[in-house]
Amino acid sequence: MGFIVIKQGESLQIVPETSFLSERQEEYLHRILETEPRFLAVEHDDGEPLLTVVVASKFKLPSNHELDLLLLDSDGDFTLCELKKGNLTREIVGQILDYASELAEISVDDFRTQIEQAKEKLREQAQREGTDWEEEAFTDEALNESLKNPRLVLVGWRVDEDALRITRWLQQRGVKIECYEFDYFRRGDTEVFVPHNLTPLRKEEPEQPTRYRLRLKFWEDMLRRLGNRIPHHKKPTKYGSLDFGVGIRDVLLEWSGAHSELRVRLVVYNKDEHPNLVRKLTELLPTLREKTGEEWSKGETLRCFYVQTAKDSGVWVWEASEEVRNWGVETLVKLYNAIMPELREWTKEEGGEEESEE
């Protein structure tokens, strides 16, 4: 067995690897993952884990079997998680498939209170971290679809070869299943868990949800309409917003969609580092209204300050009409032309940082 070295200030601590089986009970592992479910979260394209919360711990299924953890992430996708203190075997793979088949027979109406509590926790986390909240990912229709095709995660101290073989075979047939094992290090009160995903899903394997396909098509159309009217090298995305660099650090122009609204924004990230810029943008609101003919409002999250205007499409925004799409393009161009000369001049006077536009 090996060891890890932890450096705190000038002190070094050697923490040896040890056997989890002899040190801890399965319930102990359960409590750790229940406290921090992002330990097993799906990774975003940038490598960061998706916001993930526990919907239920020891979730009672119709057969009266108990699923260790039912998780929900900020994409509106469910994860079933089964934990074992010892080795993961082929029988455990069969067990989680059985649980998934039971879950597919129920709907969000069967545990509405737990779903609403989980959604509220995710909303609060998104607000604290300044990330977009996409309500359409949490409609009953979307959640019921996810219940029928959840991600399955098995966690154990070690994983048998038979379990790995079956897991990989299932993945090749479209089942979203993964096996984790972990190394455990301990000295006194210091404990370190190092997870290893032995069967990571290839990103292209799962079929994209309907909302992702609609967004890609929508942003592709919006970029086609925009052309080169503002400088950019953007490509369509599956996410609910599309931003454009403007050559000023932490400042972006943005389109975003939520429900039936298409929004046009100027966003300042890390707002606490740019109090003068936030003040300047607030002062420019009357100028924006005059030059664009739109009503602009200001808002903020924990990390961001923004000014925005919006148009209601009357339908799901990703299926918006020609009129709404053209409005979004024209308003973004007006915003760019109205605000950028002012901001560049102000940046030069303030000695702020400029960078190339993307």
CB contact at 8 A, 132 and 96: no
Question: pTM of the prediction?
Answer: 0.61
Residue among 75, 73, 87, 53 at smallest CA distance from 238:
75
| Structure token pair of residue 234 | 């953007």
Buried b / exposed e over 273-283, threshold 16 CB at 10 Å, is ebeebbebbee
Length of the chain: 358
- Would you give the end-to-end CA distance of the chain in angstroms? 48
Please name the residues in contact with 255: beta carbons below 8 A apart, sequence gap of 6 or more: 219, 222, 241, 242, 243, 262, 263, 264, 265, 328, 332
CB contact at 8 A, 190 and 13: yes
Backbone angles phi, psi at 176, to 5 degrees: -85, 85
Residue among 68, 131, 76 at smallest CA distance from 267:
131
Q: What are the extents of the domains in the chain?
A: 3-197, 210-350
Q: CA torsion, points 80, 201, 147, 101, in degrees to nearest 10?
A: -70
Residue 60: strand, helix, or coil: strand
Instruction: State the pLDDT at residue 24.
Output: 60
Instruction: State the pLDDT at residue 195.
Output: 82
Rg (CA), the chain: 24
CB contact at 8 A, 97 and 166: no
Q: What DSSP assignment string belongs to 208-258?
A: PPHHHHHHHHHHHHHHHHHTTSS-------SSSEEEEE-SBTTEEEEEEEE
Helices (H), 284-321: 285-292
Amino acid identity, position 16: P
Q: What's the per-residue H, E or C state across 140-209?
A: HHHHHHHHHCCEEEEEEEEECHHHHHHHHHHHHCCCCEEEEEEEEEEECCEEEEEEEECCCCCCCCCCCC
Instruction: State the pLDDT at residue 113.
Output: 94
Maximal CA-CA distance, the chain: 71
Instruction: State the pLDDT at residue 208.
Output: 58
Topology (CATH level 3) of domain 210-350: Yope Regulator; Chain: A, (3.30.1460)
Other beta carbons within 10 angstroms of residue 179's beta carbon come to 24
pLDDT in tens, the chain (358 residues): 677 888 888 888 888 877 766 556 677 778 878 888 887 888 766 567 889 999 999 999 999 999 999 999 998 999 999 998 788 999 999 999 999 999 999 999 999 999 999 999 998 888 787 777 777 788 888 899 999 999 999 998 889 999 999 999 999 999 999 999 887 788 888 888 788 899 988 755 445 567 788 899 999 999 999 999 999 989 999 888 999 999 898 999 999 998 889 999 999 999 999 999 999 999 999 999 999 999 999 998 888 999 999 999 998 899 999 999 999 999 999 999 999 998 888 888 776 544 444 4
The CA distance from 117 to 103, in Å, is 19
Q: β-strands 177-187, 151-159: how paired?
A: parallel
Choosing among 2.30.42.10, 3.40.50.720, 3.90.1640.10, 3.40.1350.10, the CATH entry for 3-197 is 3.40.1350.10
